[in-house]
């Protein structure tokens, strides 16, 4: 919904808003019908107080205003890859109305289903078409950027399809596998650069861990991050002598390559997300803007919303103007490569580090114009 429509909604419902504030329990109780009723009631009370003043602009609002990032893990991926189509779907680029990435993925999935139904007359496509909607794909799209595996996606989509109560057990198994494959493929269609960057990060992490080192990197703020995923290894040493036969057991822990590989892309994106939050907090503090946050939800006072919006966007641009992937490759080259003893693995890692995924044509300055980047 565009901001003009949101303002129109307030005007159209003003009598209900005022009734909710003045008679929350004895009135029409409109506030109880909303998604977050107590947050809505708090806003109704503040607006009611403001309307009692001769000049509502003189009202001092004590209600914190919060703004959420739009699937911000994918926002970081889109910025890393300068991915225009991906950036548009998660509101990194400006648009008249907020873009819905979950709906966009759902549309691509349905398009694939309809095409297969036309081309192959596949029974499974015809079966699932009426069941696939935004709710079915949302959780998998949301968590895919943070490392959900194919098996995890299977569990998520199975649960959503099961809720429809439209499939028997055999149909549910077939439909789950079919839809999960389409969802993962559709995310790749929408975020082309994301898949390439994620694969590159995973391959590097795999080589580092298999070389016996923990995956590590330094954030743009200088914080060194070291993954600590290990597995237990044991070696038996036998001591044989004329008077004694004895075996000793040595327990050691070595990097768990599979865990390092799967965890690194989401952990790296989390570190960028935390960096953006800290940069925003620091700039708000310097400019006297009150700031609070939970993950990608930023709060400030109503009078400072415009300032926080400006700071939030500027710091995202400043962060992604840095050569982030190149800096990571340089860190590995300078700090990890020299201590790897396996020459073949060192050669493979060297080639990977030089083969940084190409980027698209996204102009990061456009973020400043995006009303719904954080909204």
Query: Is the Cβ–Cβ distance between 301 and 290 less than 8 Å?
Result: yes
Q: Quote the tokens at residue 123.
A: 């029974």
pLDDT tens by residue, the chain, 375 residues: 778 888 899 999 999 999 999 999 999 999 999 989 999 999 999 999 999 999 988 899 988 888 888 888 899 999 999 999 889 999 999 998 889 999 999 999 999 998 887 766 578 888 899 999 999 999 998 887 777 788 899 999 999 999 988 888 888 999 999 999 999 999 888 888 888 999 999 999 999 999 999 999 999 999 999 999 988 765 555 555 555 555 555 566 788 889 999 999 999 999 999 999 999 999 999 999 999 988 888 999 999 999 999 999 999 999 999 999 999 999 999 999 999 998 999 999 999 999 999 999 999 999 999 999 988
Rounded Cα distance, 45 and 165, in Å: 42
For residue 262, the enclosing domain spans 197-227+257-369
In a domain, 244, yes or no: no
Q: Which residues contact 334 (CB under 8 A, 6 or more apart)?
A: none
Q: What is the pLDDT of residue 240?
A: 58
Is residue 207 domain-shared with residue 327, that is, in the same domain?
Answer: yes
Is 168 part of the annotated catalytic residue set? no
Do 340 and 217 share a structural domain?
yes
Exactly one of 68, 120, 123, 330 is catalytic; which is it?
A: 68
Is-catalytic flag, 341?
A: no
pLDDT at 351: 95
d(CA 139, CA 135): 8
Contact predicate 287/309, CB 8 Å = no
Residue at 357 is within a domain: yes
Residue 237 within any structural domain of the chain: no
Which pLDDT belongs to residue 135? 93
- Both 208 and 357 in one domain: the answer is yes
pLDDT score recorded for residue 235: 58
- DSSP state, 146? T
Contact yes or no for 164/116 (Cβ under 8 A): no
Tokens of 354: 């030089």
Rounded Cα distance between 96 and 155, Å, is 36
Q: 91 and 42, same structural domain?
A: no
Out of 163, 190, 217, pick the residue that ends a domain: 190
User: Is 336 domain-assigned?
Assistant: yes
Instruction: Classify residue 239: in a domain, yes or no.
Output: no
Six-digit token string for 129 = 């078409």
SS3 298: strand
d(CA 103, CA 304): 32
Q: Choosing from 88, 138, 198, 210, which is the catalytic residue? A: 138
Picking from 190, 219, 240, the residue at the C-terminal end of a domain is 190
- Give strand ranges (E) for the chain: 65-68, 216-218, 224-226, 230-240, 245-255, 292-294, 297-300
Helices (H) and strands (E) in the chain, counts: 15, 7
232 assigned to some structural domain: no
Torsion of CA 112, 117, 119, 120, to 10 degrees: 120
Please give the pLDDT value at position 368: 94
Number of domains in the chain: 3
- Which of 190, 214, 241 marks a domain boundary? 190
* Helix, strand or coil, per DSSP, at residue 237: strand
Q: Do 54 and 92 share a domain, yes or no?
A: no
Q: DSSP letter at 336?
A: T
Same domain membership, residue 59 and residue 164: no
Task: Please tell me whether residues 353 and 211 are part of one structural domain.
Answer: yes
Residue 184, domain CATH: 1.10.150.20
d(CA 28, CA 23): 8
Q: Looking up tokens 């390092």, which residue turns up? A: 260
Q: Using the structure block, give the residue that is written with the tokens 């590159």.
A: 200
Sequence-distant contacts of 102-105: CB under 8 A, at least 24 apart = 102/71, 102/134, 102/137, 102/138, 102/141, 102/142, 103/134, 104/190, 105/137, 105/141, 105/183, 105/186, 105/187, 105/190
- Domain for residue 78, yes or no? no
* Domain presence at residue 375: no
| Same structural domain, 201 and 287 | yes
Q: For residue 143, what pLDDT is reported?
A: 84
Q: Are residues 128 and 263 in the same domain?
A: no
Same domain, 303 and 320: yes
Q: Does 138 participate in catalysis according to the annotation?
A: yes
Distance CA 267, CA 347 (A): 25
Residue 121: burial class (beta carbons within 10 Å; 0-12, 13-18, 19+): exposed
Are 174 and 204 contained in the same domain?
A: no
Do 46 and 170 lie in one domain? The reply is no
The one catalytic residue in 107, 296, 307, 346 is 296
What burial class does residue 252 get, using C-beta atoms within 10 Å of its C-beta: 0-12 exposed, 13-18 middle, 19+ buried? exposed
């Amino acid at each position: 919904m565009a901001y003009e429509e949101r303002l129109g909604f307030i005007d159209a419902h003003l009598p209900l808003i005022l009734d909710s504030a003045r008679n929350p329990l004895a009135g029409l109780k409109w506030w109880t019908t909303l998604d977050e009723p107590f947050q809505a009631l708090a806003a109704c009370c503040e607006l009611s107080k403001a309307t009692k003043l001769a000049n509502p602009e003189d009202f001092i609002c004590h209600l914190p205003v919060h703004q959420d990032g739009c699937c911000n893990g994918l926002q970081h991926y889109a910025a890393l890859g300068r991915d225009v189509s991906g950036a548009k779907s998660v509101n990194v680029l400006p648009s008249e109305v907020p873009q819905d990435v979950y709906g966009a993925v759902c549309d691509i999935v349905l398009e694939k289903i309809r095409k297969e139904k036309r081309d192959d007359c596949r029974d499974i496509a015809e079966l699932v078409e009426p069941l696939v909607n935004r709710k079915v794909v949302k959780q998998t799209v949301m968590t895919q950027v943070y490392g959900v595996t194919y098996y995890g996606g299977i569990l998520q989509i199975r649960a959503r399809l099961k809720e429809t109560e439209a499939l028997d057990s055999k149909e549910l198994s077939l439909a789950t596998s079919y839809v999960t494959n389409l969802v993962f493929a559709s995310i790749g269609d929408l975020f082309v650069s994301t898949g390439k960057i994620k694969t590159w990060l995973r391959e590097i992490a795999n080589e580092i861990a298999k070389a016996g080192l923990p995956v590590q990197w330094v954030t743009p703020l200088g914080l060194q991050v070291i993954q600590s995923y290990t597995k237990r290894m044991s070696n038996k040493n036998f001591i044989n002598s004329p008077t004694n036969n004895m075996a000793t057991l040595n327990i050691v822990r070595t990097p768990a390559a599979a865990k390092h590989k799967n965890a690194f892309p989401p952990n790296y994106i989390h570190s960028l997300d935390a960096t953006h939050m800290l940069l925003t907090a620091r700039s708000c503090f310097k400019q006297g803007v009150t700031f609070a946050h939970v993950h990608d939800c930023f709060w400030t006072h109503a009078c400072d919303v415009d300032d926080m919006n400006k700071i939030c966007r500027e710091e995202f641009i400043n962060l992604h103007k840095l050569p982030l992937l190149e800096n990571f490759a340089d860190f590995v080259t300078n700090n990890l490569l020299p201590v790897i003893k396996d020459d073949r693995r060192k050669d493979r890692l060297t080639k990977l580090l030089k083969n940084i995924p190409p980027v698209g044509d996204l102009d990061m300055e456009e973020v400043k114009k995006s009303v719904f980047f954080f909204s």
